[in-house]
A and B are shown apart, each in its own frame.
Chain A
Amino acid sequence: MVDWDGIVSREGPAVWRTLYRLLGNRADVEDCFQETFLGALAVWNREAVQHPQALLQRMATARALDRLRKRYRTTGREGGSAELESVSSASPLPPHAAEAAELGQRLRDALTLLPQKQAQAFCLFYLDGWDYHDIARQTGGTVNAVGVLLHRARQRLRELLGDLVETTSKSES
């Protein structure tokens, strides 16, 4: 019998952080939090899990990206901005924090436009701090393939966030 009380208490904060970074919305995070652990339960019943934390973070990332895509398809880019505005209006942010929040939201939107593997590798590497070997082991690929995925993801995200370069340069000037 798996000690789910201990696992949720021990790994819960890391999963929560991963989800919150990508979703930025508490209601969605709570839903995905439970879905992540239920998905891990199914994997646990199929095979022996050697690194529970890695499995849970990978699954949390995948769930969060799915939720982001669903949200993006449902509300569109404006919807995501509207959500950010509602959060901001509840607690007024200083200009620097508001800019960071908007950048974060734009990155979330851009991640929904990446292929699943690229988005997942990007999140695990840049947001969760995994190295190439861990990503390769968890995604079932090679280290080189992870490098290619990250390179392409970064290139694509730069293109998607290209309009922010002009806006930022104007505001800074």
Chain B
Amino acid sequence: MQPPPTGSEILDRAIESLRTPQDSRPPDLTIQRTVSALWSAELRRQRMRTRWVMGIAAAVVLAVCTSATLLVLQARHSMRTIVIAPPPTIPTPPPPTPGTHIPVQPTAPRPQKEQHTAAEDNAETTTVQPAAFTSEVRITGHVYYDGPPVERRPIDLSICPQCMRILPGPLYDDSLIVNQDGSLQNVIVSITNGLGPHEHYPPGDPVVLDQKYCTFEPHVVVAMVGSRMTVRNSDPLVHSTHAINSTSVPAFNFAMPGVTERTLDPFRNGDTFQVHCDLHPWMRAWVCVMPNPYYDLTRGAGTYTIRDLPPGTYQLTAWHEVLGTMHKEVTITGGEPAVVDFTFEGRQQDN
């Protein structure tokens, strides 16, 4: 009698029953289907990978474009901020009281007048400065206007909505500014005759012509032969600086995109340039280049002062862009300064 099988024997029999070959080869159709499915999956995967690569490339391009745009916007914003920011206030020294001793600067005195800024133009006391103690006043005086009352015309800005957005208030015509006491601003008084023919003077200080709030600042710039002029655009919009000399020959003409500046070559000859902006027709300025350092520009008080002129007889010329030119003769003796006033005859204003 055979002993009953154990659990291990039953398990071995079960294993053996599964190991017995039953169907050892897949049908050809199954193999073909499987191969087709594998190739399809492979193609799908490659297509997907291509899409991923293209998607990543598109994302990179988009990111680069976005970054570039942000950088440009940031740069523009920072430039605009410079324009909007108020200019730093320069503390003005208190006016000297009579009898006060102010030490003389160790630098050699310059006979040429300094170029005045807009802030100085509006100050009544600009002629009383410590510089007066470093040089000697030889000629001084007032320039007056005698004629029909002058009202500064407001400028029609409707052609430029961009200007209207940035301007703090209305703009007025600067071509003829008469003070309440009848004195006249923006008159250049200079020595035009009587100096030695071969006098050589050092070049003057650099000057600045700024385009701010859609107007030239200052309205009249006086420079000397050999001086450099920096043309600046402080507005966040485009201006064109177009200058024509006294013989109607274009001297320079260039466009200035927002908040830029450009320094020109030194002036070689004395001349008078009318500067205007081709985009904003009301913007006009004058640049007068003097052959000698003996000149001054009347400012808020309508006065002028010429210093350090050697004794002699000279022709004094006053020039105004609207009212024309006047000449006077003056003799400097070396004592008290000569006082020479000019009075321009006014004409009826054209409307």
Interface, chain A (partner B; CB < 8 A): 1-2, 4-5, 8-9, 12-13, 15-17, 20-22, 24, 26, 29-30, 33-34, 37-38, 41, 45, 100-101, 103-104, 106-108, 126-127, 154, 157-159, 161-162, 164-165, 168-169, 172-173
Contact = CB atoms under 8 A, between A and B. Distances in A.
Interface in B116-174: none
A154 to B, nearest CB: 7
Contacts of A158: 7-8, 10-11
A162 to B, nearest CB: 6
A41 B42 contact: yes
Contact of B30 (A17, A33, A107, A161): A33
Contact of B37 (A12, A37, A162): A37
Contacts of B39: 4
A172 B33 CA distance: 47
22 contacts: A4-B42, A8-B35, A12-B34, A13-B26, A16-B26, A17-B21, A20-B22, A22-B18, A30-B30, A34-B33, A34-B34, A37-B34, A41-B42, A103-B14, A103-B17, A107-B17, A107-B18, A108-B18, A154-B8, A165-B6, A168-B4, A168-B10
Contacts of B18: 21-22, 104, 107-108, 127
Contact of B14 (A15, A38, A104): A104
Contact of A165 (B5, B15, B30): B5
Nearest to A164: B10
Interface residues of B, number: 34
Interface of A is mostly: helix
Nearest to A169: B4
A4 B14 contact: no
A21 B39 CA distance: 28
A24 B23 CA distance: 9
B2 interface: yes
A8 B7 contact: no
Contact of A126 (B13, B15, B21): B15
A133 B35 CA distance: 31
Nearest to A22: B18
B24 to A, nearest CB: 5
Given A13-B26, A16-B25, A4 B8 contact: no
Nearest to B4: A169
A103 B34 contact: no
Contact of B10 (A20, A34, A165): A165
A149 B14 CA distance: 19
Contacts of B6: 165
